[in-house]
Structures are given as structure tokens and as C-alpha cells.
Structure 1
Amino acid sequence: MKSGEARIAVHVAAVLFGLTGILGELIQGSAWLITAGRAAFASLSLLLFMRHLGHGIARPGRAVSVSVGLAGLLLAIHWVGFFMAVKIGGIAIATLGFASFPAFITLLEGLFFHERTRAFEWLIVAIVSVGLGLVAPSFNFRDEATTGLLWAIGSGLSFALFTLANRKAVGQWPAHALACIENAIVAALTLPWCLAEFTGLRASDWLWLFILGVVCTAFSHALLVASLSRLKARSAAIIIALEPIYAIAFAALFFAQYPSVRALLGGALIIGAILISSLDKSRAPAMRADRIDING
């Protein structure tokens, strides 16, 4: 893959990630069902892909197994929270609330890994916080959009914790194997809560779940990993940060969900803060593949 092709691949991945909220809105099922179906299809397709390449899944050490198990649990919480936000607050609210996760990573790294948080990073956190305040339609918890935003912020927090939990496993396992196992854990954790729902799914719901799991999760992950062989993770992160813009555009196009001017301003602050943080050269050595959003 050449450098130009790698950039196109990352943009395609960002578009596919942006479609996840759209598919979550289309699927007539609970957040648990959407998460379980997505994870099951993603895990199976990644397993088939690795077998096609002749790759197996090596047995990890105990410490790595604990990290992967914890990461799988946090990924399940993240996805359920995100799709709850989509169902309750709408696609734009869900995506912008989730986009707060880099601010949580900054705060949690200092707490868990004793990494010094610089004044610049506190500024990024402050900008994201102001942006979230603007995205919130009101501070009335009876407001569905506000409730949806709280679910989205919780989704961002759990994704930040998921990212940090992955730090031990990344580098010891191939990225595809890690994603396959973590998706399998998500499916195992969520299927018992929604198994009966699958009997009532329409044919179109099965199609959307397939696209969500195979195309928007497994395929987009493969594109991102392949592109990182030619691009710096920081460069890829800047492109992936455009995901909320794609999601909001799709929501407006397919569902006529138009965010308010205030929400757009808040979203601009959040996305701007993420882009500025990605451009911070002094942070570049820590910006690895595990730091890039593979949410969808």
C-alpha cells in the first residue's frame, strides 16, 4: 500500500465508522442486540480473515489475558452505551458526546500511569468540556436528548478505559487477533441479555447487522491497520477525528436529524480540540495504533 492509498484507506475507515450510528438507528432492536450482533459478525469475519492469511491466535500470558478480558468488558459497555445514546438522543448527540473520549484518556493516563498532564492537555480537556456543555440541549435530566448525551459521555469514558486496558496487549498480539478476541468477548457478554430478540428481527435488520459487524467494524479495522504500515498513527488519528462530521452529515441526509447551531458550535470545539491534540508533536511518541478510535 502506497502512502496516498493509505490516506484514502483511512478516510474510508472514518466514513465507515461514521455509518455506525446510522445503522444503529436503522436496526429495530435494543442496544444490547445491536452490540451482540455487531460483535458476533465482526469476530467471525476477523477469524475467517486470519485463517485465510494462515494466521492463528497464540495463547497469551496471564497478565495479557486479564487485560484483554477487561478490554472486552469495557468495549461491550462502550458499544451498549453508544447505541443507547443513538436510540435516545439521536446520532449527532451520540457521536459528539462519544468524541469526548480523548479528554478522558488524558485525565486517566495521569491517574493510572502516573504520566504528567501538561498545561496544554488541561486546555484540551477544558475546550472539550465547554464543547459538551454547548452540545447539551438542556440540563434537565428528563430531556431525552440530555439523557442521550449522558449515555454518549459514558460511552466515551468506557472507550477511554478500553484504550488504556489495551496498552498491555498491543504489541504482544497482532491487531487482528486482538480485535477478534475482544469482539468475541463482547458477543459472549451481551448475547445472554438479548438472545430472544433475535427471533423477531426482520431480514433488513440482519442485513444492517451484517454490514455493521463485517464492513463497519472488521473491514474498517483491517483498513486502519493496513494504513498504519505507511502512515504515522498521529496522521491517521487526525483523519479519524473527522468521524463525527461524517456521522452528522449522514444523520442529516438519511434521517433529517439536524443539530442546533449551539450543538454545531460545541461539536466544532470538540473536534477542533481533538485535531489540535493530534497535531501536538510533543505527544507524538505515545500516539500508537491503540490510541486511534476504532469505535464506529
Structure 2
Amino acid sequence: MTHSRALLSMHVAALMFGLTGIFGKLIQAGPVVIVLGRALFAVAALFLFARLFTRPILRGVTRQRFLQLAMCGFFLGVHWLTFFHAVKIAGVGIGTLGFASFPAFVVILEMIFWREQPSPRDLLKVGLICIGLVLVAPAFNLSHGATTGLLWAILSGFCFAAVSVGNRLTSGHLHAVQVAFWQNIVIFACLLPFSGVALVQVDALDWLWLALLGLFCTGLAHGLFVASLTVLKARVASLFFALEPVYGILFAWYLFGEEPTIRMLLGGLLIISALALVSRAPEPA
């Protein structure tokens, strides 16, 4: 893969990740059914990707590593559930920006579990995100639907941060596609007994949205992201995470008329600035 194709792949992956909230709003089913369907199609897409690019599925998955994958899969499932719940309550824009709080939680969790002291840049990142979230919140009242949705989205960001930190346990031992495959297997197995019947009963249009969500926004997007990392440096790739809320807000504005307020735009700008700071972190030696 050339450098220009890697950049294009990253843009496409960020665009697909940004569409996640859009599909979550289009699907009429509840969050549990959405996550179950997403995991089902994601497993199929990741398995196909692994076969096409000769990536391992079983190799290196010991009992201990499977337990680590299961733990991360649990938090990934809760992240998806809370994110889609936030989108249903507060809309795509607030849900996406609330989820974008995850870098702040990564700093906190790494300080607690890995004993890594935050740098001044990390503290600045946390501060920007906190101020941004205050601006995004429409009102400090839990009876306000948008505020409740923002809190669910922040919980989603926390769970995604837990997944990111937890994945460090398997980093260097398992391929990223392999990790994503098994985590989605765990999600599917956990939710199938509760919503398997409801998933079968969704209408045809919801099946279409679920397929697009699982195949493109999860399987293909993750595959493009991983493939691009063979060419791009990590700090360059991380910058593209800042594009996810941008794409999500723009599509929600165009498709659903969710026009962002000035406060929301300012708060979003601060949060995206914090995400961009990740790209300026020095490369590991």
C-alpha cells in the first residue's frame, strides 16, 4: 500500500466510523438489537478480511489472552450500547461529541492501572475535553433529554477508553483484526440469549442498516484502519479520530436537520482540538 492510498484509506475509515451514529438513528430497533446485529455482521466481515489477507484467527489465543479479550469485549459492548442509547435520546451530534471524551479517560485509566504519570500535554487534553463537554451540555438538568443523552455518551467514552487501555494487554501478541474478531464474538455470544428473537423479527430496512453498520462501519472500517497502519505512523493515524465527530455532526445536520448550536460548535472544537493533540505525541522509541 502506498502512502497516498494509506491516507485515502484512513479518510474512508474515519468517514465510516462517523456514520455509526447515523445508522444508529436510522435503525428503529433498540440499542441491544443494534449491537447484536452489528456484532454479527462485524464478525462476518472481520473473518472475511482475515481470510483474504491471511491474518490469524486462532493462533496465539491462549486461555489467559481469551479472558483479556472477553473483558475488553464486554466493555466494547457496553460502549456500543450506551452510545446508541445516547444517540436515540439526544441525537447524533451530542452522542458523538460525548463519546469523543474518551482520550481524557485514557489518561486517567493509564495513570491508575499502568502508573503512567500524565504529561502537561495530557493534562491540557483533559482540560480541553472537560471545558468542551460543559459547552456541549445544553442544560445542567437531568430532566433535559439532551443532557441525559450526553451523560450516556460520556459513559460510552469511558467504556471505549477501558477497551483501549485493556487492549494494551494483548498488544504485540495478537493482530488487531484478530483482537476485534474475538471481541465481537464475545459481544454476540453475550447478547444473543437476550435479543436473538428480537433480531430475527426486525424489518427488512433495519436489516439493511444493520448490515451496512456491521460490514462497513465496523468490519471494513477497522480493516482499512489496520491496513493503513502498515504505512502511516501512529501519530498520523490518530489524527483521523478527530474527523469522526466532524463527519457525524455534518451528516446528522444534512440528513436529520440536527443543526448544532454555537455552544455545541465551540465545545466540539475544543474536544476535537484535544483529539488532535494525540497526533502530536512523540513516536515511541
Cα deviations across residues 251-288 of structure 1 (Å, max 9, x unaligned)?
A: 0111111121101100100001111232132xx329xx
Contact 2:96 2:248 in 1 (8 A): yes
Once the two structures are TM-superposed, the CA of residue 203 in structure 1 deviates from its matched residue by: 0.8
Contact 1:33 1:191 in 2 (8 A): no
Mark the CA change 1:279 to 1:54 in structure 2 (over 3 Å): closer, same or farther. Answer: closer
Task: Give the equivalent residue in structure 2 for 1:102.
Answer: 103
Task: Give the equivalent residue in structure 1 for 2:141.
Answer: 140
Task: Give the equivalent residue in structure 2 for 1:115.
Answer: 116
Cα deviations across residues 185-210 of structure 1 (Å, max 9, x unaligned)?
A: 11111222222322431111101100
Task: Give the equivalent residue in structure 1 for 2:178.
Answer: 177
1:178-193 counterparts in 2 under 5 A?
Answer: 178-193=179-194
Task: Give the equivalent residue in structure 1 for 2:21.
Answer: 21
Cα deviations across residues 48-84 of structure 1 (Å, max 9, x unaligned)?
A: 3323444442252333222111000010000001000
What SS does structure 2 have at the residue aligned with 1:140? coil
Q: TM-score scaled by structure 1?
A: 0.93
Task: Give the equivalent residue in structure 2 for 1:221.
Answer: 222
Say which is worse superposed, 46-55 or 86-95, in terms of deviation: 46-55
Once the two structures are TM-superposed, the CA of residue 133 in structure 1 deviates from its matched residue by: 0.4
Task: Give the equivalent residue in structure 2 for 1:50.
Answer: 50
How far apart are the structure 1 equivalents of 2:123 and 2:111? 11
Task: Give the equivalent residue in structure 2 for 1:252.
Answer: 253
RMSD of aligned Cα (Å): 1.3
How far apart are the structure 2 equivalents of 1:32 and 1:191? 10
How far apart are the structure 1 equivalents of 2:146 and 2:197? 29
Contact 2:241 2:275 in 1 (8 A): no
Contact 1:10 1:240 in 2 (8 A): no
- The alignment-based identity, stated in percent, is 45
How far apart are the structure 1 equivalents of 2:175 and 2:119? 32
What SS does structure 2 have at the residue aligned with 1:6? helix
Task: Give the equivalent residue in structure 2 for 1:41.
Answer: 41
What SS does structure 2 have at the residue aligned with 1:167? helix
Task: Give the equivalent residue in structure 2 for 1:206.
Answer: 207
Letter in 2 for 1:171: G
Contact 1:69 1:185 in 2 (8 A): yes
Q: TM-score scaled by structure 2?
A: 0.96
Contact 2:55 2:175 in 1 (8 A): no
Letter in 2 for 1:60: V
Which structure 1 segments of 5+ residues have no match?
287-296
Matched, 1:280 2:262: no
Letter in 2 for 1:80: L
How far apart are the structure 1 equivalents of 2:77 and 2:192? 11
Say which is worse superposed, 18-27 or 187-196, in terms of deviation: 187-196
Task: Give the equivalent residue in structure 2 for 1:5.
Answer: 5
Letter in 1 for 2:115: H
Letter in 2 for 1:137: P
How many residue pairs match? The answer is: 284
How far apart are the structure 2 equivalents of 1:277 and 1:55? 28
Which structure 2 segments of 5+ residues have no match?
none
Letter in 1 for 2:244: E
Task: Give the equivalent residue in structure 2 for 1:83.
Answer: 84
